[in-house]
A and B are shown apart, each in its own frame.
Chain A
């Protein structure tokens, strides 16, 4: 199948949507599909072979912040040329409700069209005003995907209709290799926390409150804290007896994240809320490190309510400590969590996600029909 994917945001800048598209494009190519990605691009050197630049994005104020987007007649012409040259069976746009290449592509394309909604946004006044224009572009989309329940809600409220839920994937392979840090694993046990130190919803405080009890039971334990924030400030505010057991790694690279998982006996996710999915949990499971997480809805779902990871009562430090004590002493349970967690992470591997996305493509394909450029038809209806 020939698939054209449209990315609305600058390819040169890091970002969730861009990463999603890159991983999806790779996974699709691995199962034998041909992929071309059209994207705005600040720096056109060193692009992946499947990426086509639509020119430099323009910084504009939009929706209360500055967005770097592509629009206007030059961009529209580039989209048309890309569609004509691409000979695509299906075009897949991302975040179609942003004023960007994506909505232009909806406008320009005629044929099987799929769209993915990523973020949950309020319906802005501008969107309400241009509802008719947006609506006619949106009506061409024959298959809709949402990456989370929240994104699906946004779609239902803003444009109506429904979507198929296909969550983000995990690149499991990336977490399989990799060696632990020097000196790990330790016989005295190691636990790991990932996330911003000073963001309350990441729940580091819940874990710190549990530390005295854990240290009592495991006097040699070490807690690795990986994430940005004021480590020195936090350390000085702690009881030195506890602080001695904590090692702050600061903001770490992706490679070091893999090593951190490999170094730990248990990864602890004490998040108190605000998580819509829990990719990190799956990354830990893919690395073979058992997870102990708060029982917020998203986590309980990912961990199958305790089958593939241990849960403790949200915001309850005593329960966290109790569960961790039992878990660390039970090698049988740890081994079972390693196996179950690994199996569970596979269900969210990009290969599985790509298979689900291809099912969506197949549902909108029309035999013998390719995506064609159609601009006049959009504006003038039958006159075109």
Chain B
């Protein structure tokens, strides 16, 4: 009799533990999703503004073309965290090369139209770096829980695919530091 009660108690506790872990995992997946939505929005904003800047006539034609090309390639690859890393890194490099230096940024901010675009681009590159850091943080926390034995054995994560970090170059160009 007592043994039976004991077994029931243990089973109930075990069930509560599983349920709470499932709840925790659910929350972590939600955090990954919202962090990715934010990163996605920032990356789109960044490429849109980079394209606008390329078309604005504030830069020389060669720089404009380089920037526009990188921006369009970045926009063509949306969605997948792994596939988009390369074109987005290329856009970062194009931004650094065309408008990243302190002199170039000072020159851009000398005109009124340039100031508006410059401020928008500055805010976009900063926010991209922040969002990617937070997204990768969320992925790391989620993967740590999903690697636990019990989570795997009872497939608490269901069919949700394993989240992937975004490994890209999101260096803030030196000219935009402190802006």
Contact = CB atoms under 8 A, between A and B. Distances in A.
Nearest to A163: B133
B178 A380 contact: no
Interface string B128-163: 001101101110110010000000000000000000
A356 B123 CA distance: 9
B126 A140 contact: no
Interface in A327-384: 347, 352, 356, 359-360, 362-366, 377, 379-384
Which of B23, B31, B35, B123 neighbours the largest number of chain A CB atoms within 10 Å of its CB?
B23
A359 B130 contact: yes
Interface string B23-56: 1101110010011011000100000000000000
Which of B38, B134, B144 neighbours the largest number of chain A CB atoms within 10 Å of its CB?
B134
Contacts of B28: 139
B127 interface: yes
A140 B133 contact: no
Nearest to B33: A366
A106 B165 CA distance: 25
B22 interface: yes
Given A139-B31, A142-B31, A366-B34, A359 B137 contact: no
Contacts of A360: 130
Which of B21, B131, B140 neighbours the largest number of chain A CB atoms within 10 Å of its CB?
B131
Which of B22, B24, B42, B130 neighbours the largest number of chain A CB atoms within 10 Å of its CB?
B130
B11 interface: no
Nearest to A346: B178
B16 interface: yes
B137 A161 contact: yes
A68 interface: no
B19 A382 contact: yes
Contacts of B31: 139-140, 142
B143 to A, nearest CB: 11
Nearest to B137: A161
Contacts of A164: 130, 133
Interface residues of A, number: 28
B19 A383 contact: yes
Contacts of A160: 140-141, 144
A363 B131 contact: yes
Interface residues on B, range: 20 to 34
A383 B134 contact: no
A382 B22 contact: yes
Nearest to A110: B27
Contacts of B141: 139, 160-161
B20 interface: yes
A382 B19 CA distance: 6
B51 to A, nearest CB: 21
Contacts of A383: 16, 19-20, 23
A143 B132 CA distance: 11
B141 to A, nearest CB: 5
A205 B108 CA distance: 48
Nearest to A382: B23
A363 B130 contact: yes
Nearest to B131: A363
A381 B140 contact: no
Contacts of A359: 123, 126-127, 130
Contact of B23 (A362, A366, A377): A377
Given A363-B42, A382-B23, A142 B134 contact: yes
A30 to B, nearest CB: 18
B130 A143 contact: yes
Interface string A160-204: 111110000000000000000000000000000000000000000
A380 B16 contact: yes
Contacts of B19: 380-383
| 4 nearest A-B pairs in the assembled complex, by CB-CB distance | A381-B23, A381-B20, A347-B178, A382-B23
Interface of B: 16, 19-24, 26-28, 31, 34-35, 37-38, 42, 123, 126-127, 130-131, 133-134, 136-138, 140-141, 144, 178
Interface of A: 136, 139-140, 142-144, 160-164, 347, 352, 356, 359-360, 362-366, 377, 379-384
6 contacts: A142-B134, A144-B137, A160-B140, A380-B16, A380-B20, A383-B19
